[in-house]
Structure 1
């Protein structure tokens, strides 16, 4: 990338970067992923949460090191390209853009389902349009809105934990761990829970908009991940204590069902509002990350070059943001949120496997290479343990991307 390419404004400090990471993680995933994970992992749910956190930590540290070295938009698309070669960078970017676009649509539909179930698709489209407009006004506006969303969601989750823990229905015996779902079930549950952790490196994707990235990113990423792990562990323990693992697995709206079982019916509407707000926060952060990866891929002509334009006043990739918002709106208008968690998790796990492989090349010291190796192995294991339909769809999408890359390469050489 030459110096003539317009760059984005570095406006995010440590606090804003942590908030962006929290907005991506402490979102709709905790409202939606606990039930499917409990069905897969059974009594090993807390083990699954721990496994997902370990893999996420390895990935987070790999992303932080790489982002400090390459503080530009694009995340692992850039890291893979610079450390492993153009194809691996392209494959990472392809997996991220396609998987996260589907995830964006799922989050938009989650908003619609909680706000107005009868018009879920219409509300989803309206949410996408509104958030795209906010993003086009500059990354500072997005960070401010994310801060509000994080505050609301953390407040709601704290209320859920207090209500469940203080309920007469809570029983510590329900927290007993085991392996009723087997090791495979734990890994599958961890892969599904990874969906809820997958925003920890969003600030790395926004590396070109972070002040002093060599200092800010390595501090912000693990801090955001640590806060999220504490929150998720508290919520998982509180809901299991009230519902039990089987009850949590059967719950359609786990947190709402938990506070209802705890006898605090008045909190149910608050949880519904919190879920909608959380989905909005996740949607905002997801579109933000996808548009920046789209920007980076457009700069290298893997996507239309027109999407690489940066607005001269707001210094954001408005064309990329509008294009991503338009695609997400179409998918949200006609699509279905079912299966999105597994599909998104597969794509993101591939993305971070490439990130870990890229981080492995940064140093030849065994200690420096230990975390990337653990992270890469963990990503592959969790990806393979996901539901068969998710794995099959993910492999198909990756193959389609590889074919498109090969066709484009041949066209260039001819």
Structure 2
């Protein structure tokens, strides 16, 4: 029974936490809602940090999930610049790290997100070494890229994942020289595999990015605090005035682990283990967003998804589950990117080794096509490149688990809708 005497605490002021707070009020919860954010900025959305905002094409105010006055208007107790030091599950309390304040909860949501992985090599303490996760990072990096472009400076990017490639594209638009180093054989290898990873190799080379695959950064060379070069394990030394470390993100599980909550196997991406209702091993504690590892019946495995759509939908799903609603969190994973003149949406889950073939519908040479990752005639994932308004159909095709005629799948004259049972 949910009533006005209850207190729901949300730890984590990103998109998942903010949307959970919004959903609690929208669903009629009248008790206390406490939202604790370790950043001093109001909750904001992250995709633009490596895209439009980084390029100066989006205003700062456009990033925020709600206008600042929204929280007081909806009686959300927002604590900015605060951390939670500990959870006492027996007493059902959280203790603030700054002043030791203790707050009791009836339900607790952990939306603590992820943090950039660090390079363990000499030179990472130099002032010109950057990560990109937070708004403050993006503000600093935007100034750095503008200066590099103005002065014909060099940026070395460690990692050819989404963040690395998006920042590389932004840096080239500013006019900076860019080198990307990546240990895998292609960009985005763990997500797209070699077939479609090569598309991004060609895209970036066309725009003047130097790409080096199969190598790792071993040292960042500097003098008087400034970056001068980056060395790789093949013996090369790359000129650099700044370095972006974009080698992935690690789920922020320390708080959950200290509280004795079950964690997911690192083989499944780690994170806090939750069920299909986003409940942790403690029924009064839920988790959502980048930190949550949930079972996905469609793909027959646990997934931890670090993308905007998972936070957008996972926060509300957790809020409804906290209210006792009948919830199953099983959205098809979705993400998007914008790099130069390429826009792309990806739905599904098809890591290398999980599929038999990649089927292309459209003109890959012109970068106007849909790619499908197929196993035994069933579509596991789809990626539309500069082709729009097909995501719902692609996701329905994935969910149907139907065997499709791959020739028809590849034929743009066959309506995609007609292949969905």
| TM-score for the superposition, normalised by structure 2 | 0.22
Specify which structure has the higher proportion of helix: 1
| Larger RCO (CA within 8 A; separation ≥ 6) | 1
Find the structure with the greater CA-based Rg. Answer: 2
| TM-score for the superposition, normalised by structure 1 | 0.22
